[in-house]
Structure 1
């Protein structure tokens, strides 16, 4: 079997409920669908979500680096020779989302060729994951209303609260309102998306003491090396690296330097191969991981479930899997269902994210 061609399709689907946070806001899923075609008719599929304010990649840059840099060197190779293909991609620095989509598409292709679900090829630990829902910048009463609705409709009992606002009172109030309104049986954790300084993060932790918050993700820029290390040492809850740890090398640096003591894994930027390397580092060092979300479509969310459910360590915590519900539409042929606060992996060859071709034609931007 040989790779015959690689297809990159830009498309755009609006969000009915845009998500706002410290480093930006997402109103439209302007993504790239990546398809790797073989000479035997087997095709691997993945979704690439650009986040220019976080990783510097755009819809145009993802398409260009795959079409003009990776594809000319990869076409003609055996799709099972993943290490050779990764060797090609490693020659180009950064471009993590483009590389991640290539990798997931290769795994999807392999699963289809072997007639095996990818979650079993990766490890097959369990068949579902608990769901965490992300709450964006909104007034505290509206956040509480949204959390209650998701709890009632989908059985979700874990919420990530986007923080990092100034004045700090806005975020502190939201924490108190959510805890009082949701009760002690609901998990709440924070994600500041580098919106505070380390000292501001310490002040928020002081003012939310006793609320039972479980994690504090990316409170400040990793360049604040000294103050960030002091924050990690003084924080009563784990400080999670996210934007600062997109690669296995970054994870090693931040964990060993004391810049974080937990890690968020996002398959959209690491694919399954580097996510496995990151998970191995974390389990070897006894560090907790979360499965994060780049405000993914259902195609991307299904990839996260596939990897997260495959391993014991990545399935312990609820994964951020539900924000596709805020989209006006999606490309997936069989929609994801959240039942009793969980999403189940697809017991199908590959990742199981078949594309609705009519919707792809409707939303693609290259016609």
Structure 2
């Protein structure tokens, strides 16, 4: 069970259409496949999706930090020495998705070694999750058409609407169009990606008060401490901290400072080990969580649903598990399938997926 090698493989898969939001847009999945090899011949795999406009990581930086800093520190450890691995990676500041991918690949290797599913090792609460789909910036008619297509084809009835444009009426109009087209039984919530000021967000939320929005995520920048606190105190919709909470300490700051009332957990950002820390932290404080998405491919989505389904708190709400639908291809031998609005955890040991070597050879960018 000793780690003998860690590799980071950059790959690029185009999206069928760009996903646009307040902090940027994504047209190509320039991700990194992280593999942890053991002396038993087991290989654990996970995915690191860099978001330079959010965390400062790039595909190149993830490859470099995994291979040049993390691998030399972790080779020789056993798969059970996860706390030691965590402590050694934490010596390096930042790099959340690189750390998360290594952590999840270690868990995958452990599950494969023990011939057990990772979701069972993490908690085993259920084997599936309801799915939420993100709708990015586009003309109102296109946003409505996308939501209707996803609802009709996959049975999804929860949608996170990207907001944060100026003027705020653009997003108010889009949310109103979605509510009118989808009806009252579909759940809608909004994600600003820090695009508005607190006053703009307050004006927008007032204008959408009749739409039955269930959550409001990162409407304004985390650095605007007093503005976020004022905004959270005046709105009746739960406010979700996402990009602002990459560490347990950030979670404490946002919650105790009154800047948020809920937390988004992303396995792409905090892996399995730190995600569990944050989940239990929130449970102890009586705070709800929602399972987020970092525009993951199918590898990352399989990791996310394995974690979300493993715990009661993270499986209560629909998780953001459908963005891989917009990718033109993926790496798995057996693609993930959303049916009846749900995504089932992959069966089998580890996280339950296998990477197609032909597809990886085609899409990797280091050869």
Aligned position for 2:142: 142
CA RMSD of aligned residues (A): 0.6
Matches within 5 A, 1:266-305: 266-305=266-305
Unaligned runs of 5+ in 1: none
Partner of 2:352: 352
Deviations 1:293-320 (A, max 9, x none): 1111000001110000000000011000
Distance 1:170 1:286 in 2: 35
Q: What is the Cα deviation at residue 110 of structure 1?
A: 0.6
Q: TM-score w.r.t. structure 1 length?
A: 0.99
Residue 366 of structure 2 corresponds to 366
**4+ residue stretches of structure 1 with deviation over 4 A?**
none
- What TM-score does the superposition give when structure 2 sets the normalisation length? 0.99
Whether 1:175 aligns to 2:175 is yes
Unaligned runs of 5+ in 2: none
1:311-364 deviation digits (Å, cap 9, x = unpaired): 000001100001101000000111001110000001210001210000000000
CA distance in 1: counterparts of 2:356 and 2:231, whole angstroms? 47
Which residue of structure 1 lines up, in the alignment, with residue 73 of structure 2? 73
| 1:41-80 to 2 correspondences below 5 Å | 41-80=41-80
Shift of 1:154: 0.3
SS of 2:240 mapped into structure 1: strand
Q: 1:73 and 1:328 mapped to 2: Cα distance? A: 36
* CA shift digits 1:15-49 (9 cap, x unpaired): 01210000000000001100000111011100000
* SS of corresponding position for 2:353: coil
Cα distance in 2 for residues equivalent to 1:82 and 1:281: 19
What's 2:85 paired with? 85
Whole-angstrom CA distance in 1 between matches of 2:36 and 2:209:
50
The 2-side partners of 1:227 and 1:77 are apart by: 46
CA–CA separation in structure 2 for the residues paired with 1:57 and 1:230: 31
Q: How many residues align?
A: 367
In structure 1, C-alpha distance between the alignment counterparts of 2:254 and 2:346, rounded to whole Å: 34
Q: Are 2:161 and 1:166 aligned?
A: no
* Alignment-derived partner of residue 220 in structure 2: 220
2:28 and 2:181 map into 1 onto residues whose CA distance is 31
SS in 2 for 1:41: coil
Q: Secondary structure at the match of 1:142?
A: helix
Which residue does 1:130 correspond to in 2? Answer: 130
Report what 1:191 is aligned to: 191
1:337 is aligned to 337
CA positional deviation for 1:240 = 0.3
Can you list the C-alpha shifts for 1:172-227, whole angstroms capped at 9, x where unaligned?
Answer: 00111111111000000000000000111100111001110000000011111111
SS in 2 for 1:210: helix
**Counterparts of 1:116 and 1:41, CA distance in 2:** 16
Report the Cα distance in structure 1 between the residues aligned to 2:358 and 2:313, rounded to whole angstroms.
38
